[in-house]
A and B are shown apart, each in its own frame.
Chain A
Amino acid sequence: MPVLLAIALHAEARPVIERFRLKQDASSGLPVFRRDEVWLTVTGTGSMKSAIATACLLSRLLNRVERDEDTVLFNLGIAGHTLKAEEGPVSVGDRFLANKITERSTGRSYFPDLLARTPLAESVVTTVERPLDRADAGTVEPGLVDMEAAGFYQAAATFLPPHRIGCVKVVSDHLETRRLDKNRVSELIAGTLDEFEAAVEAYRSIDDGEPDVLTDADLQLVGDIRDRLRLTASRHRMLSDLARSYKLHTGSDLPDLTRFTHVSVNTRQEGDAQFERLRGILSVE
């Protein structure tokens, strides 16, 4: 079950790499770190870079897995907050899960689907093209301000359902334009990793809610028969549905169909005849 992480800065990624003991993956042109099922890419700063690196990672990985139902993808990073330091309940180090991501340049908003219950508070995140000054805090919806979330989300949503995309931000400042020390950035991220990990785990526990009565072995068998009988895509679909119908209506496992993985067919007519035999065996009406 792949867990993919898109993180803008090395300083943000470092504690995550250490925590999950990830190793650099030299086979990629991008900075990618991985171990087992966890993949992390360092995207660089800005919406566009985040989108490109996220899309690259996803297209590389989703091609590999037959079913992508288990993949979850997170963006993790620091962000400013529109509240003044002395104004309210938000302090540096607080962390939030984005429930709305607005791209300031277009005015468009995106909404990760919040099915998984996490220990994190939630906030709106506005993505800007360049750091926002304190004086301009009133020009965006109250909440977090970052430079990647909107690009990240748009790329991610091209591949994944919205309940498997998460964006977690740690408050690093109150929009004072001072450069943050790298070690401080790493510290802020490190301080959020328990909750972040819990959020990832919660996301991983939610499936797509589309269970299939056919097991992986059943699907493999149906696939083998397709290859053997050289079935068209639509015949393959029909065969899968006949197999489903059989299991759903009889409540039993599929009958033994292995002989259909050994037959040889030379003409279309022969293939059709075999298919009709299959249909007869699987028919429950």
Chain B
Amino acid sequence: MRNLSDFGASSRWSNFSHLYIEHGAKEYPLTRRIRERFAKARVVEIDDYKTVFARPRQKFQAQKESMKLILAVKKDRFLYDGSGNSQDFSLEDFHYNTLTFNCVYNCDYCYLQGMYPSANIVVFVNLEDYFIATREGIRGRSNPAQPFYLCISYDTDLLAFESVVPYCRAWIEFAREEPDLLIEIRTKSAAYRAIRDLPSTDRVILAWTLSPELVASRYEHGTASLRRRLEAVRSAIDDGWPVRLCFDPVLAVPSWASLYGDLVEEVVQRIDPAEVHDVTVGVFRLSKHHYQRMRRQRKDTPLLYSEFAQEDTTVTYPAERREEMTAFMRKRLGDHFGEERIFAWT
């Protein structure tokens, strides 16, 4: 057979070459916006996103290099209870939502590989339904003395996708109208500029996951470099936003102590700890089910072939290693931020 190059084509579609659009999603403003943005994309109409997203035998990493966009209407479950694998900041009403499935980035350790059958990105376009459910959640929260805490970038990196799906902006505006709401937007991007024109509010915490540059470049594919993340942090603080720094996951890579120790030093040199809202720490962990599925697909990353222990349904480093790493991070961070602002997953 002849070579494809004879035909002058590259052999793989770029990301978002195709838009799969549910019939019911066609008329939403976001759908129209995305169609305009990707005017050259081939459009395929579908009845239900699951017929594309949940096909059997899809290959997550093959799809990662040519992700498609699936625009859908979410029918139910607009709020989930926070998982035990996350810090809850002592807030009783801790929730997250899934405005999209999947992420534009591709971290080696990302549990989405073990969670979803596909790497394609599903965007739920019926934002108003999420707002309604969130208002109900706020009214019905169990502890009225505390805010209703909602992570909107929990299983994804929403800010990284803001130029396509401007949901961070929409939720920040929504939070302004809801005095009892506290939102967290977590990112590994430098896309703060996409929302920089908005006035800050203390109802939205902007959270940056920080990793040593070696970890970011080697294992967090597509994400912003440490330097650019810190520049974005700097800008957000200067603009008055509450900023959370997340040292999570801390990975047991070779020389982890010196890498993560240096990371803390670099951060405090660039960012005044007094200006940081709080800090989270947690070693690498994921559910057993996701871990097993990831290992079947990923036979090429050392991160999944470390020594692990299973505790209940969570897979993480053995207790001794975990405690050593957490204590190390707490100590290093505590020297600068004070224990009371550090929230650790242990």
Contact = CB atoms under 8 A, between A and B. Distances in A.
B62 A208 contact: yes
A99 B18 contact: yes
B49 to A, nearest CB: 11
A113 B55 contact: yes
Given A115-B12, A116-B12, A206-B11, A162 B299 contact: no
Contact of B300 (A122, A160, A213): A213
A205 B62 contact: no
Given A162-B58, A208-B62, A202 B11 contact: yes
Contact of B17 (A108, A114, A198): A114
A245 B58 contact: no
A281 to B, nearest CB: 16
A117 interface: yes
Interface string B206-247: 000000000000000000000000000000000000000000
A209 B62 contact: yes
B62 A163 contact: yes
Interface in A178-234: 194-195, 197-198, 200-202, 204-214
Interface string B270-302: 000000000000000000000000010111111
B101 interface: no
Interface in B13-55: 13, 17-18, 20, 42, 44-47, 51-52, 55
Interface residues of B, number: 45
B76 interface: no
A201 B44 contact: no
A161 B58 contact: yes
B111 interface: no
Interface string A255-269: 000000000000000
B4 interface: yes
A163 B44 contact: no
A248 B6 CA distance: 38
B200 interface: no
A249 B12 contact: no
Nearest to A285: B307
B86 interface: no
Interface string B246-276: 0000000010000000000000000000000
Contacts of B305: 241, 244-245, 248-249
Contact of B58 (A3, A113, A114, A116): A113
Contacts of B62: 115, 161, 163, 206-210
Interface residue range, chain A:
35 or more
Interface in A34-67: none
B121 to A, nearest CB: 14
Contacts of B6: 198
A210 B13 contact: no
A118 B302 CA distance: 35
B309 to A, nearest CB: 12
A239 B63 CA distance: 29
B3 A201 contact: yes
B2 A197 contact: yes
A208 B11 contact: no
B129 interface: no
B196 interface: no
B59 interface: yes
Nearest to B302: A248
B4 A205 contact: yes
Contact of A117 (B9, B55, B298, B306): B9
Interface in A137-169: 141, 157, 160-163
A99 B44 contact: yes
B95 interface: no
Interface string B130-171: 000000000000000000000000000000000000000000
A197 B61 CA distance: 25
A177 to B, nearest CB: 28
B93 to A, nearest CB: 39
A109 interface: yes
A248 B301 contact: yes
A40 to B, nearest CB: 14
Given A119-B7, A122-B42, A157 B57 contact: yes
A134 interface: no
A212 B44 contact: no
A211 B298 CA distance: 7
A119 B59 contact: no
Nearest to A108: B51
Contact of A116 (B2, B11, B60): B11
Contact of B59 (A100, A114, A161, A205): A161
Contacts of A244: 299, 305
B64 interface: yes
A201 B299 contact: no
B302 A249 contact: yes
B51 A111 contact: yes
Contact of A111 (B13, B55, B298): B55
B59 A208 contact: yes
Nearest to A141: B45
Nearest to B7: A198
Contacts of A124: 44
Nearest to A163: B62
A124 B45 CA distance: 9
Given A163-B58, A207-B62, 20 more contacts: A99-B44, A111-B44, A114-B18, A114-B66, A115-B63, A115-B66, A117-B13, A118-B9, A157-B57, A198-B4, A198-B6, A201-B1, A202-B4, A205-B4, A205-B12, A213-B300, A214-B299, A241-B295, A245-B302, A248-B301
